[in-house]
């Protein structure tokens, strides 16, 4: 194999493909990027067997061929070369890299040893604007669990039904739900691993351009033109989330989002990081009081609220309530309560299509 390729272009695509390479792999070949030179293109492939990325870069091909090269070393070298044409020559397993007055020789592995990517049979396909997909990932993926004993909850459930697409993540303590209209007749559901979504998010740019997504029974395929991302889907039943998003509320409280967020962040300051950081909310008329008592000291905050319904005393793990409020972009938010034992449902006043639900921590009423 022998090619000439632009340094900056190659470096950019190595960077993309590296997102699929795990530093914790036990198969040495998966530390590598598969390079395949064919028909005026260099194809780069990376995979951790769950997430796979293929990317194509224009180049001048002098001799077709393939090689597997260590991802970190190859990436470091190409990034540090001058911004000029790079000549890559492969002889058996030796890789020679030349650019201006620099010359590297490193060894690779035969391209034949690289695992085949799964054959994917497309079932459904839809488009979604790139920037909206990024926003949806940001608003849901943080609510997945890291607990591998509940594998389906490490992913985000995506449901397409009646020209709406919904994204749902939950971890047993809170739930994030986002719904969007979508221009497709497909009706399907799938669970996308949280890690895949996080890596996809890093590759997507903040553009309004449409992204094409295809779905097979086992995979999702995100098509970005010169780059294609394949993620395995998670199998198994998802939690029946619909039952817990109630529509009736005993108390509805409207507050300024930033005021509540700042108060909760201050109230959580004194808790040690390793402990469940309890914040107590008490609604009295049109004031929302927030309290926290820890070994280090105590905090008392109060903010103006516009309340409708009965007063309420309720406690939360501050991390779970703060993360949800941060995910809302509206200036004003609505907290919907059904007593102190049922989940609190939080919406932005404008964006009714994003719902965050957080479970309270049970406390005796005397503890407020």
Residues near a second copy (CB under 8 A): 70, 73, 76-77, 80-82, 101-107, 262-263, 265-266, 269-270, 296-303
How many Å apart are CA 149 and CA 36, to the nearest integer? 38
Distance of closest approach, residue 124 Cβ to a second copy, in angstroms = 45
Distance of closest approach, residue 267 Cβ to a second copy, in angstroms = 9
Distance of closest approach, residue 72 Cβ to a second copy, in angstroms = 10
How deeply is 116 buried, as exposed, middle or buried, from its count of CB atoms within 10 A (0-12, 13-18, 19+)? exposed
Bridge-based pairing of strands 332-337 and 124-129 is: unpaired
Query: Of 221 and 303, which has the nearer Cβ to a second copy?
Result: 303
Question: Residue length, the chain?
Answer: 368
Query: Closest by alpha carbon to 293, among 273, 281, 278, 312?
Result: 278
Distance of closest approach, residue 82 Cβ to a second copy, in angstroms = 7
Query: Of 254 and 266, which has the nearer Cβ to a second copy?
Result: 266
Residues 6+ apart with CB under 8 A from 325: 257, 260, 261, 264, 333, 346, 356
Query: Of 103 and 209, which has the nearer Cβ to a second copy?
Result: 103
Query: Of 6 and 150, which has the nearer Cβ to a second copy?
Result: 6
Distance of closest approach, residue 262 Cβ to a second copy, in angstroms = 7
Distance of closest approach, residue 105 Cβ to a second copy, in angstroms = 5
Query: Of 82 and 310, which has the nearer Cβ to a second copy?
Result: 82
DSSP for 311-363 reads: -EEEEEEHHHHHHHHHT---SEEEEEESTTTSPEEEEESS-TTEEEEEPPBP-
Query: Of 245 and 296, which has the nearer Cβ to a second copy?
Result: 296
Query: Of 105 and 286, which has the nearer Cβ to a second copy?
Result: 105
**Strand pairing partners for 292?**
299
Distance of closest approach, residue 288 Cβ to a second copy, in angstroms = 10
How deeply is 352 buried, as exposed, middle or buried, from its count of CB atoms within 10 A (0-12, 13-18, 19+)? exposed
For the chain, the first-to-last Cα distance in angstroms comes to 72
């Amino acid at each position: 194999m022998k090619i000439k390729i632009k340094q900056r272009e190659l470096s950019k695509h190595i960077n993309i493909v590296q997102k699929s390479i795990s530093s914790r792999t036990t198969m040495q070949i998966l530390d590598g990027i598969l390079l395949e030179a064919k028909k005026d293109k260099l194809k780069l492939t990376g995979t951790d067997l769950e997430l796979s990325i293929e990317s194509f870069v224009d180049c001048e091909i002098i001799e077709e061929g393939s090689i597997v090269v260590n991802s970190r070393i190859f990436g470091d070298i190409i990034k540090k070369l001058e911004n000029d044409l790079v000549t890559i020559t492969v002889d058996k397993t030796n890789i020679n890299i030349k650019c201006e007055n620099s010359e590297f020789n490193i060894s690779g592995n035969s391209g034949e040893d690289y695992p085949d990517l799964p054959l994917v049979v497309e079932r459904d396909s839809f488009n979604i604007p790139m920037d909206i997909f990024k926003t949806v990932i940001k608003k849901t993926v943080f609510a997945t669990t890291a607990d591998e004993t509940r594998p389906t909850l490490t992913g985000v459930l995506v449901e397409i039904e009646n020209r709406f697409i919904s994204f749902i993540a939950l971890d047993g303590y809170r739930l994030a739900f986002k719904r969007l209209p979508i221009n497709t007749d497909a009706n399907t559901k799938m669970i996308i691993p949280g890690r895949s979504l996080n890596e996809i998010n890093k590759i997507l740019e903040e553009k309004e351009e449409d992204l094409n997504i295809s779905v097979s029974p086992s995979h999702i395929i995100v098509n970005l033109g010169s780059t294609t991302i394949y993620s395995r889907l998670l199998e198994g039943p998802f939690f029946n989330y619909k039952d817990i998003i109630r529509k009736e509320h005993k108390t509805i409280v409207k507050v300024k989002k930033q005021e509540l967020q700042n108060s909760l962040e201050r109230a959580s300051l004194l808790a040690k990081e390793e402990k469940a950081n309890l914040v107590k909310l008490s609604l009295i008329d049109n004031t929302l009081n927030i309290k926290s008592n820890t070994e280090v000291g105590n905090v008392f905050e109060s903010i103006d609220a516009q309340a409708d319904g009965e007063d309420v005393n309720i406690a939360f793990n501050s991390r779970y309530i703060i993360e949800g409020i941060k995910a809302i972009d509206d200036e004003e938010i609505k907290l919907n309560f059904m007593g102190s034992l049922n989940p609190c449902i939080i919406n932005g006043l404008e964006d009714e299509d994003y719902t965050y639900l957080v479970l309270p921590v049970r406390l005796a009423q005397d503890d407020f």
